Every structure is written in structure tokens, then in C-alpha cells.
């Protein structure tokens, strides 16, 4: 994801969606996107964007 991973998560959350960290490995994170109901996964992406990693910190989801 090259167009601002943090911006994507903020827009998703502002639209009522839920995001969850589904994987962390050295220098990268995988995030899954869910509808506002928290139902089935809509999409996911893996990124090594340092801004995203800082933004997520130790959080596991947008519900933290």
C-alpha cells in the first residue's frame, strides 16, 4: 500500500469500518479490514510503512 496506510485506516474507521492487526513480523504488519458489523473480512494488506507501524503501536484493532 503506497498511498498512505495511516490515511487509509483513518478513512476506513471514519466510515464506520473496523480494522484489526492480523499479523506482525519484523518490520511489517498485516491489517484486515471489516465492515462496521465486524462480520467477514473485506480486504487486507501488509505494509512496512514506519508511519503505520508507529500509528498502530501495540493496538490490535480500531476497537482498542
Instruction: Name the band, by pLDDT with cuts 50, 70 and 90, for residue 37.
Output: confident
Tell me: pLDDT of 1 over 50: no
Across the beta sheet with 18-25, the strand order is: 18-25, 28-34, 43-47
Residues 1, 22 contacting (CB under 8 angstroms): no
Query: Rounded CA gap, 37 and 35, in Å?
Result: 5
- Measured between alpha carbons, how far is 41 from 3 in angstroms, rounded to an integer? 21
Mean pLDDT of 39-54: 94
Give domain limits for the chain.
Answer: 5-56
Average pLDDT, the chain: 91
Amino acid at each position: 500500500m503506497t498511498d498512505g496506510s495511516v490515511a487509509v485506516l483513518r478513512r476506513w474507521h471514519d466510515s464506520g469500518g473496523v480494522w484489526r492487526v492480523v499479523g506482525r513480523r519484523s518490520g511489517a504488519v498485516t491489517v484486515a479490514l471489516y465492515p462496521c458489523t465486524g462480520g467477514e473480512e473485506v480486504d487486507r494488506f501488509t505494509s512496512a510503512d514506519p508511519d503505520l507501524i508507529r500509528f498502530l503501536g501495540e493496538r490490535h484493532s480500531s476497537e482498542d
